[in-house]
Amino acid sequence: MNSKEYKYTSEHEWICPESKNKGKVGLADYAQSQLGDIVFLDLPAPGTKVEQGKKMGEVESVKAVSDIFAPASGQVLEINQTVVDEPGLVNKDPYGAGWLVRLELSEPSELNALMDSEKYEKFVAELSEQESE
């Protein structure tokens, strides 16, 4: 269980709001488990402007390529260089050491449109059910 602070997109990105309209962004556990071993991350450079729901980067596992969508609009403040050097951290610790970027949010109210932990857990449970059918 993650802290109540985490918000999720239907594309399985998470954002954890920090003080002064900032937020840390990463991939949810479900995303990493679907992708398998992640071997490459293409993240937006600091300073890049991103828009909620629009593509901001790419993640590749041994077998698959997937887009990373911005969970909120704003500007990239920082990228997690450690995870770029060791993409497997997303698999090992998706909500912690495997975070991807830190954003400065231009529209913090956008976060209201995202799922909270409880809602997201239900969403994933439904997906897993469909998958096992």
Binding site for other proteins (CB under 8 A): 36-37, 39-40, 42, 58, 60-63, 65, 88, 91
Query: Whole-number minimum distance, CB 23 to other proteins, in Å?
Result: 26
Decide whether 18 or 42 has the Cβ nearer to other proteins: 42
CA distance readout (Å), 20 to 28, 73, 92, 122: 24, 15, 29, 30
Please report where in the chains the tokens 């600091």 appear, as a residue.
46
Query: Whole-number minimum distance, CB 61 to other proteins, in Å?
Result: 8
Query: Whole-number minimum distance, CB 42 to other proteins, in Å?
Result: 7
Decide whether 41 or 105 has the Cβ nearer to other proteins: 41
Decide whether 37 or 107 has the Cβ nearer to other proteins: 37
Query: Whole-number minimum distance, CB 46 to other proteins, in Å?
Result: 17
Residue type, 42: D
Decide whether 20 or 63 has the Cβ nearer to other proteins: 63
E strands, the chain, in order: 7-8, 13-18, 22-27, 38-42, 49-50, 55-61, 65-69, 74-79, 101-105, 115-116
Distance CA 49, CA 80 (A): 17
